Structure formats: C-alpha cells, structure tokens
Copies of this chain bind each other. A is one copy, B any other.
Amino acid sequence: MIIQKSATPRIATFDPQNFSFGDTFTDHMIICEYENGKWGDVKLIPYGPLPFTPAMMGLNYGQACFEGMKAYKDDEGEVFLFRPEKNFERINKSASRLAMPEVTEEMFLGGLKALVDMDREWIPQGVGTSLYIRPLIFATEEVLKARISNKYMFAIVATPAKSYYTEPVSVLISDFYSRAASGGVGSAKAAGNYAASFYPTQLANQQGYEQVIWTDDSTHEYFEESGTMNVFVRINDTIYTPPTSEKILDGVTRDSFIHLAKRRGIEVRIEPVSVKKVIEAQKDGSLKEVWGVGTAVVTSVFRALGYKGEKLELPTLPLEESFALSLQQDLVNIQNNKSEDPFGWRMKVGKEVLQDA
C-alpha cells in the first residue's frame, strides 16, 4: 500500500458534537485504479478531487456500485468494523452483475482497515455514533460507446455519523412505481437503483409519507424493500421478511436481524409477504410492527402505511414489547462492543498504519 499522509489535515477543526453527516469527510481516502486487465497499487491519500472529464463512462453509463458500512469506537477507544466480509462479498456480486472487475480482499479489507486506522480520530465516541464508510467502484474510461469499460477506480471515503435514532415514519405502499425488474439489478447496490427511486419517493413525500414500500413491478401485490432498506413485518409474534432474489438486496442488517431474532426464540418466516396479508392483519389488529433495516439507521420503525388512498395506523410499542427496537438494541450493543459477540461479527481495527506512516 502506498501511503501519503495529508499535509493539511482538518481533524483539528472537527467537532464530534457538532458536524454535518454525509458531507464532512475524513482527511484521507483509499483509491486503486484498474487498467490493462488488472488492479494497480492501493493508495491511501488525502481526501480530495481527482481529474475526471464528463466523458467518464461511470457517469454516462452508470457502471458504478457501492457499499455502506460503519466503524464503531467503544468506551476504551478501540475501533471495530461490523461483518466487513459481507460487504466484501456483496460489492463483488454487484460488480459482477454490472460487468465490472471484482476487487481483492487486500484492496477491500486492507483498504478499509488502513483508512479507518489512519482516520480513527474522526470516529465519534458515544452511543449510536460511528464512522460511515463508503467503498465504491466506478468506470473511469473516457469513451462514448455504450459498452463495458476497460478502466475503473475503486475508492473508499468516509464521513462521521451521528446517532442512528430516528422518529417513526409513515410509508407509502407503491402501486405504480417500482425499484427493480425481474431479471434486473435490484439485488446489486448499483448506483442507478438509487436515482430511480428518488422521484417516486418525492411524490410520496408530497403525500405526507417519508418513504416508499416497494412492491413487485408486475402485480404490486408483494413487498420487496422499503426506501433503501430491507423490510420486516410482525404479525402477532411472528416476523416475516421477503426472501432475497435478483430483485431484493441481501442486506447485512437484514441477515443480522434474522440471526438475532432466532437467538431470542422469535419465529422468523422468510417468505413472500403479500400486501393483502399485511392490510388484513392491520384491520384485525394482529399487525404489531412493520420496520425497515439498513446500515445507516439500523431500524426505521413505521407508524403508518399508506395504501390506495387510505392511511393505516400502526401501534407504537415501548422498547420491551417491540421486536424492532429490541433487535436494534441487540445489534447496536454488539456493534459498539457493549455485549458479547456470539456470532463473531466484530472485527477490531489495530493501530498499524498510523504508526508506520
């Protein structure tokens, strides 16, 4: 790895009590370039602009995918990644579906650890705070031909993240717009999937809903995802979530919730979740909770479902009765090294790069 420390670090100006999530970047980033059929050296360099023209294929043809993950600092100041090998697997699945080269474990996990180690002072300490990390791969060749690119960049950038806590939200069950086609790229974290969701989400916002529950595009009878998250439904004391497929993202938080629910002895059914079943359960009172899960907020609890002009209210459960909040707490405790780690999900980030550099 080639390491070039920032000559003008901004860390002294960073106030962990008062910063803007998402556009406050740490002092460094990882980059690695692909050409002539192979990846070059991994470089840890100061965060900043690189020279790209508007002919860059990643911008023209959308050959770009990313991951979202976090690093956590415990009470002793030790830093941990959470199941990074899952993100490593998934970025390569996304890359394959978009006909992009896979990245190596050295690039991905080695790059992650080096960046997090180098910029560990940027990780806020305290319940729920973390460092949000964004690995991505994008096509960099400058060619106006709609074909597979021959040049790519792998990069990792990071921003401090505030507490995951969010208010319960209202969500609109989609009966026209959709985020994924059968035989499409819904299961990849493809850049284009997100842009496609913005306009329908904006329409939902205008109707008073914070997010969209995406349904299958051909019948709109089955739940797929919610916003940019996987979705869970609790009817009586059973949790339901749709199976992953080429249309549904194989979320790391989704998988973790399934493990944690089973550990608590909660029945989890991974099967198609029909809109009809959820609406009927709301009507007869057996629908206890619906929530989304993802890296950014861990859990987004829903307080109402909009469907064909009707707004169906959901109960507000206290922590001790809520599966969503209990499982969230189980997960956050593991992530922040406040509990045992029964599944071996934490990966400690040692102090290596910073001392070498």
Contacts and interface: CB of A to CB of B under 8 A. Distances in A.
Interface of A: 21-23, 25, 29, 31, 47-55, 58-64, 66, 68, 96-99, 132, 134, 136, 138-139, 141-148, 153, 155, 157, 159, 174, 176-185, 190-200, 202, 217-218, 228
A25 B55 contact: yes
A228 B177 CA distance: 23
Given A23-B143, A148-B202, A182-B217, 16 more contacts: A22-B143, A23-B141, A23-B142, A50-B54, A54-B136, A60-B134, A62-B62, A98-B195, A98-B196, A146-B197, A174-B183, A176-B183, A179-B181, A185-B196, A190-B192, A192-B195
A185 B218 CA distance: 14
29 contacts: A22-B143, A22-B145, A23-B141, A23-B144, A31-B54, A47-B53, A48-B53, A50-B51, A50-B54, A54-B155, A59-B59, A60-B66, A61-B198, A62-B62, A62-B193, A98-B195, A99-B195, A99-B199, A132-B144, A134-B144, A144-B157, A148-B198, A178-B181, A181-B181, A182-B217, A183-B217, A184-B196, A191-B195, A192-B195
A53 B50 contact: yes
A155 to B, nearest CB: 4
A58 B136 CA distance: 12
Contacts of A61: 191, 194-195, 198
A59 B138 contact: yes
Contact of A192 (B132, B174, B177, B193): B193
Contacts of A132: 144
A55 B142 CA distance: 19
